[in-house]
Amino acid sequence: MSTFTAFNPRTGDAAGPAFAEATAADIASAASRAASAFEQWRRVPARDRAKALRAIGNALIDARDQIIATVDLEAALGDTRINGELARTVAQLHGFADLLDQGAYVEAIIDSANPAATPPRPELRRVLQPLGPVAVFTPSNFPLAYGVIGGDTAGALAAGCSVLVKGHPSQPATSELFARIARAELAKTAGGADVLQLVHGRTPETGRGVVNAPEIQAVGFTGSVAAGRALFNVASARPEPIPFYGELGSLNPLFISPGALAERSADIATGLAASIAMGAGQFCTKPGLIFVPDSDAGREFAHTLASKLDAAPIGVLLNENIRHLLANRMQATMLVQGATCATDRDWPADAGFRAAPTLFVTDATTFAESSELREEHFGPISILVLSEPDQMKVIATELGGHLTGTIHAAADETAWAGALADALAQHVGRVIWNGFPTGVAVVPAMQHGGPYPSSTSSLHSAVGTTSIRRFLRPVAFQNMPEALLPAELQSSNPLGIERLVNGVRSASAL
Amino acid sequence: MSTFTAFNPRTGDAAGPAFAEATAADIASAASRAASAFEQWRRVPARDRAKALRAIGNALIDARDQIIATVDLEAALGDTRINGELARTVAQLHGFADLLDQGAYVEAIIDSANPAATPPRPELRRVLQPLGPVAVFTPSNFPLAYGVIGGDTAGALAAGCSVLVKGHPSQPATSELFARIARAELAKTAGGADVLQLVHGRTPETGRGVVNAPEIQAVGFTGSVAAGRALFNVASARPEPIPFYGELGSLNPLFISPGALAERSADIATGLAASIAMGAGQFCTKPGLIFVPDSDAGREFAHTLASKLDAAPIGVLLNENIRHLLANRMQATMLVQGATCATDRDWPADAGFRAAPTLFVTDATTFAESSELREEHFGPISILVLSEPDQMKVIATELGGHLTGTIHAAADETAWAGALADALAQHVGRVIWNGFPTGVAVVPAMQHGGPYPSSTSSLHSAVGTTSIRRFLRPVAFQNMPEALLPAELQSSNPLGIERLVNGVRSASAL
pLDDT of residue A347: 80
Nearest to B429 among A418, A460, A474 (CB): A474
Q: Compute, in degrees rounded to 10, the torsion defined by CA atoms B216, B220, B221, B226.
A: 60
Residue B508 is classified by DSSP as S
Q: What residues of chain A lie within 8 A of the CB of B466, using their CB?
A: 109, 126, 474
Confidence class for position B1, pLDDT limits 50, 70, 90: confident
> In residues, how long is chain B?
510
Task: Please list every residue in chain B whose beta carbon sits closer than 8 Å to the beta carbon of residue A473.
Answer: 429, 451, 458-459
pLDDT tens-digit series, residues B133-167: 999 999 999 999 999 999 999 999 999 999 999 99
Q: How far apart are CA B173 and CA B70, in angstroms?
A: 7
User: What is the chain B residue with the closest CA to A437?
Assistant: B478
**Residue B437 CA: distances (Å) to CA of A332, B8, B287, B443:** 60, 29, 7, 15
B339 close to B366: Cβ distance less than 8 angstroms: yes
Which positions in chain B touch A421 (Cβ < 8 Å)?
477, 480, 484
Q: Which residues of A are catalytic?
A: 247, 284
Q: What is the pLDDT of residue B350?
A: 77
B459 and A473 within 8 Å at the Cβ level: the answer is yes
Contact B255, B291 (CB under 8 A): yes
Instruction: Supply the pLDDT for residue A45.
Output: 98
* pLDDT score for B114: 94
| Residues 6+ away with beta carbon under 8 Å from A418 | B483, B484
- Known catalytic membership, residue B247: yes
Residue A132: closest C-alpha in chain B: B426
Contact A215, A161 (CB under 8 A): no
DSSP state letter for A314: P
- Tell me which CATH homologous superfamily contains domain B26-248+459-471: Aldehyde Dehydrogenase; Chain A, domain 1 (3.40.605.10)
Cβ distance of A429 and B476 shorter than 8 Å: yes
Residue A348: the pLDDT is 79
Residue B472: its chain A contacts at CB < 8 A? 459
Q: What is the pLDDT of residue A346?
A: 83
CATH 3.40.309.10 applies to domain A253-433: yes
Q: At B452, phi and psi to the nearest 5?
A: -55, 140
Contact check, Cβ <8 Å, A237/B240: no
Shortest CA distance from A402: residue in chain B: B475
Predicted confidence (pLDDT) per residue in B28-77, tens digit: 999 999 999 999 999 999 999 999 999 999 999 999 999 999 999 999 99
The per-residue pLDDT for range A380-403, each reduced to its tens digit, is: 999 999 999 999 999 999 989 999
Three-class DSSP category at A113: coil
Q: Classify the complex by whether its ipTM is higher than 0.95, answering yes or no.
A: yes
Close Cβ partners of B441 (under 8 Å, ≥ 6 residues apart): A111, A121, A122, A124
Buried b (16+ CB within 10 A) or exposed e, B72-96: bbbbbbeeebbeebbbbbbebbbbb
Of B111, B236, B475, the CB nearest to A431: B475
Q: Min CA distance, B173 vs chain A (Å)?
A: 28
Contact flag A433-B111 (C-beta cutoff 8 Å): no
Nearest-by-CA chain B residue for A240:
B452
Residues of B in contact with A161 (CB under 8 A): none
- Residue B347's pLDDT is what? 80
Domain(s) labelled CATH 3.40.605.10 in chain A stretch across 17-103+134-248
**Set of chain A residues whose Cβ sits within 8 Å of the Cβ of B446:** 111, 124, 126, 476
Partners of B447 on chain A (C-beta within 8 Å) are 126, 474-476
Q: What gap in Å lies between CA A378 and CA B266, rounded to an integer? A: 69
**Residue B298: what pLDDT?**
98
Amino acid letter, residue A420: L
Which residues have CB under 8 Å from B62's CB, separation 6+?
A: none
Q: Which fold has domain A17-103+134-248?
A: Aldehyde Dehydrogenase; Chain A, domain 1 (3.40.605)
List Cβ neighbours of B220 (8 Å cut-off, separation of 6 or more): B134, B135, B136, B137, B152, B153, B155, B156, B245, B462, B470
Residue from A397, A443, A465 to probe the interface with B (highest B Cβ count within 10 Å): A443
pLDDT of residue B118: 83
Cross-chain residue pair A458–B473, CB shorter than 8 Å: yes
For residues B427 and B409, is the Cβ–Cβ distance under 8 A?
A: no
Give the C-alpha separation, A154 to A157, whole Å: 5
Q: What confidence score (pLDDT) does residue A231 get?
A: 98
| Distance of residue B280 Cα from the nearest chain A Cα, in angstroms | 19
Nearest CA in chain B to A471: B459
Q: Do B479 and A432 touch (CB under 8 A)?
A: yes
Count how many pairs of residues, chain A against chain B, have C-beta atoms within 8 Å.
207
Whether the predicted pLDDT of B346 surpasses 90: no
CA distance B82 to B142: 9
Q: How far apart are CA B361 and CA B313, in angstroms?
A: 21
Question: Which of A129, A243, A476 minimises the CB distance to B445?
Answer: A476
Interface contact flag, B478 A435, Cβ < 8 Å: yes
- pLDDT higher than threshold 80 for residue B349: no
Q: Are residues B475 and A433, on separate chains, in Cβ contact within 8 Å?
A: no
CA distance B354 to chain A (A): 27
Contact B131 A458 (CB under 8 A): yes
Element (H, E) at B472: strand B472-478
Cα→Cα distances B326→A289, B59, B252, B312, Å = 57, 36, 17, 18
Partners of residue B480 in chain A, C-beta under 8 Å = 421, 431, 433
Can you give the pLDDT at residue A411? Answer: 95
Residue A437, classed as helix, strand or coil, is coil
- Active-site residue (options: B85, B161, B284, B376): B284
Question: Which chain A residues have a beta carbon less than 8 Å from that of B457?
Answer: 243
Active-site residue identified among B85, B176, B185, B247: B247
Q: Which of B236, B432, B481 sits opposite A414 (nearest CB)?
A: B481
Alpha-carbon gap: B479 to the closest alpha carbon of chain A (Å): 6
Nearest residue to A269 (alpha-carbon basis) of A312, A315, A329: A312
What is the C-alpha to C-alpha distance for residues A292 and A389, in angstroms, rounded to an integer? 8
Taking the C-alpha atoms of residue A123 and residue A480, their distance in angstroms, rounded to an integer, is 8
Nearest to A435 among B87, B414, B479 (CB): B479
List, as one string, the DSSP characters of B94-132: HHHHHHHHH-GGG--EEE--BTTSSSPBPPEEEEEEE-S
Residues from chain A contacting residue B241 (CB–CB below 8 Å): 232, 236, 452, 456
Where are the CATH 3.40.605.10 domain residues in chain B?
26-248+459-471
- Global pTM reads 0.97
Record: contact A232-B240, CB cut-off 8 A: no
**CB–CB of A433 and B481 under 8 A?**
yes
Query: How distant is the Cα of B404 from the closest Cα of chain A, in angstroms?
Result: 9
| Regions in chain A scoring below 50 on pLDDT | none
Distance between CA atoms of residues B328 and A352, nearest Å:
67
d(CA B241, CA A236): 10
B119 upstream amide cis, omega within 30 of 0: yes
State how far residue A66 is from chain B, nearest Cα, in angstroms. Answer: 23
Mutate to test the interface with B, among A442, A478, A485, A489 (most CBs of B within 10 A): A478
Segments of B265-328 assigned E as strands: 289-293, 315-316
CB contact under 8 A, A476 and B243: no
| pLDDT, averaged across chain B | 96
Handedness of CA A386, A392, A394, A395 (dihedral sign): positive
Q: Are B407 and B396 in contact (CB under 8 A)?
A: no
How many alpha carbons lie under 13 Å from residue B7 in its C-beta half-sphere? 17
Q: CA A79, CA A259: separation in Å to the nearest integer?
A: 39
φ and ψ at A357, to 5 degrees?
A: -55, 135
Give the pLDDT confidence of B190-244 residue by residue, as tens digits.
Answer: 999 999 999 999 999 999 999 999 999 999 999 999 999 999 999 999 999 999 9
Inter-axis angle of helices B78-102 and B46-62, nearest 10:
160
As annotated, the residues of chain B forming the CATH 3.40.309.10 domain(s) are: 253-433
- Give the H/E segment covering residue B3: strand B3-7
Does residue B126 contact residue B473 with C-beta atoms inside 8 Å? no
